Chains A and B, each alone.
Chain A
Amino acid sequence: MCEHCGCGLPGESHGHAGHDHHQHGHEHPHDHPHPHQDPYPVPPGPERRTVPVQEGILAKNDRLAERNRGYFLAKGVFVLNLLSSPGSGKTSLIERMAADLGRRLRLGVVVGDLATDNDARRLQAAGVPAVQITTGTVCHLDAEMVAGAIARLPLDQVDVLCIENVGNLVCPAAFDLGEGLRVVLMSVTEGEDKPLKYPTIFRDAGVVLLTKMDLAEAAGFDRDAALRNIRRAAPEAAILEVSARTGEGMQAWYETLDAARAGRAAAQA
């Protein structure tokens, strides 16, 4: 970083002509004695100085997320961070996964909402161990909240942990939770241009799930436009079309999930 002004730029990348000490012209048209002395000197105090910091604001969250990640790895738990607008079908997706996968994979769930534990109770009713994080006014989950919540889950009996983030397409994008796979859901009733409106959250997705496909026709869903827009915002993500209600496309999602888990296991070995 620049040593002259603390601006964060490399020193050679910008000039400092403006910082030179310049002389003030000082004419004395009168002839009385004129000592250049401040009649009210400021008592000598600590001088103003610039302290370089260059620290990421999210550094603490990122550290805690890495700690979570290590903990999940040690416990053999694969973690999904599920992100979407409110009402895109995150809870329904998890319910369906519990019903379909229950025999071979044990699920656990952490649910974030501003208020109520309705979602956690819904999932517990489906036989899934679930803990609710009620965030109050906070619009996202962070790594510390997740660390607190997983202490209340029997992680030794969990293979796949689904973290259902607060329904919000803006704020949760910035917070790594320690997940192994980031999944963004978008339902066919939401409008095909959502990825263009909220590109940041789509950009980091490993998988984008187009949900409620059973309603596509009724909603007049423009599939080509949606796929094009998702591809534009998330060039790397796998895109899958699913319906938690009918089960359409769920098998492909499970195969993707298995591949992601296997990939991580391979990386670990």
Chain B
Amino acid sequence: MHELSLMEQTLAIALQHAEREGASHIHQLTMRVGVLSGVVPDALRFAFDVLARGTMAEGAQLAIESVPIVARCARCNQEFEAADFFADCPRCGETATELRQGRELELASLEVS
């Protein structure tokens, strides 16, 4: 549900950068969304279609790159890619792990003209 407010922010950032570039049209937005960001890509797309109307981003492609989870073991420092939130260290079995990657939520780039 909070995808709508997140997309408002995304669009605001996109328009700001596009204007700074002197662009008149945004063709594509590329977002990086971590598996653990708590954001549903479909809900982002829906929000984007609604919010982009009447802006220079109307009709633009929304590309969403999924960022996998990478954790680091608190005991042996091993870094590993994890399938979900609760993965144990594959080397030593420790359950306490520090999240290194997977909560990203950012606008990576724009394609403009």
Write the residues of chain A forming the contact surface with B, with a CB cutoff of 8 angstroms.
1, 6-8, 45-58, 60-61, 138-140, 142, 170-171, 173-175, 196, 199-200, 203, 232-233, 235-236
Contacts and interface: CB of A to CB of B under 8 A. Distances in A.
Given A46-B24, A56-B105, A58-B105, A8 B110 contact: no
Contacts of B85: 199-200, 203, 233
A6 B113 contact: no
Given A174-B2, A200-B36, A53 B108 contact: yes
B94 to A, nearest CB: 10
Contacts of B6: 57-58, 174
Contacts of A48: 27, 111-113
A200 B110 CA distance: 29
A171 B99 CA distance: 19
Given A57-B6, A199-B85, A52 B109 contact: yes
B109 A50 contact: yes
B95 interface: yes
Contacts of A46: 23-24, 113
**Among all A-B residue pairs, the 5 with the closest Cβ atoms:** A171-B2, A8-B108, A6-B109, A199-B85, A235-B96
Given A48-B111, A171-B2, 6 more contacts: A50-B109, A51-B17, A53-B110, A56-B105, A57-B106, A174-B105
Nearest to A229: B86
Interface of B: 1-2, 5-6, 9-10, 13-14, 17-18, 21, 23-24, 27, 30-32, 36-39, 65, 74, 85-86, 95-96, 99, 103-113
B106 A56 contact: yes
Contacts of A142: 5
Contacts of A7: 30, 65, 108-109
A57 B109 contact: no
A57 B23 contact: no
Given A53-B108, A54-B108, A200-B36, A60 B30 contact: no
A201 to B, nearest CB: 8
Contacts of B30: 6-8
Nearest to B96: A235
A232 B38 contact: no
